[in-house]
Amino acid sequence: MAVMITEECISCDACAPECPVAAILDENNEKNPQDSFFYVKPESCVECVGHADAPRCVEACPTEGAIVWDMPYTKEYNDYWQAGQDAGTYNIRVHKKKGLMLPEQKEQPFIADVSMSDRESNANIGRWA
């Protein structure tokens, strides 16, 4: 990751078709741990690095505060993602052989310019700033 979708989401489905890596699940998807709003799979989200200059999902989203920053999906934050998994916030994919696909198994790209304080506070992603 990553970016995170919050309860501000109105399930309009504008974001999911824009994601270059199919990381966004609707509220009815059985792999979505939230039952009333959309969800970003952190183990899949690449923050659009290599695809666009900014997160495409945010460009498409009509709702301020529905998509916010989350921590990088890197080994350094492995414990953070494990804790979120344990708490039910995330539903990280389980690989048949490798097990839970935490960053220690596979890291994802992230936008280095975003401050860790913005990530830690789940700050809005700048489009409305």
In the complex, which residues of this chain contact ligand SF4 (CB under 6 A)? 3, 5, 9-15, 18-21, 23-24, 38, 40, 45-48, 55-57, 60-61, 63, 66-67
- Please report how close the Cβ of residue 97 comes to ligand SF4 at its closest, in angstroms: 25
Kindly state the smallest distance separating residue 102's Cβ from ligand SF4, in Å: 18
> Least CB distance from residue 61 to ligand SF4, whole Å?
3
Nearer to ligand SF4, 90 or 96 (CB): 90
Q: Which is nearer to ligand SF4, 43 or 99 (CB)?
A: 43
Dist CA 37 CA 96 (whole Å): 28
- Taking the least distance from each CB to ligand SF4, the nearer of 22 and 99 is 22
Long-range contacts from 33-37, C-beta under 8 angstroms, 24+ separation: 33/88, 33/89, 33/90, 33/91, 34/5, 34/7, 36/7, 36/11, 37/5, 37/6, 37/7, 37/9, 37/11, 37/66
Q: Between residues 99 and 122, which has the closer beta carbon with respect to ligand SF4?
A: 122
Structure token digits, residue 6? 């919050």
Nearest approach, Cβ of residue 24 and ligand SF4 (Å): 5
24-53 burial, b at 16+ Cβ within 10 Å, e below that, comes to bbeeeeeebbbeebbbbbbbbbbbbeeeee
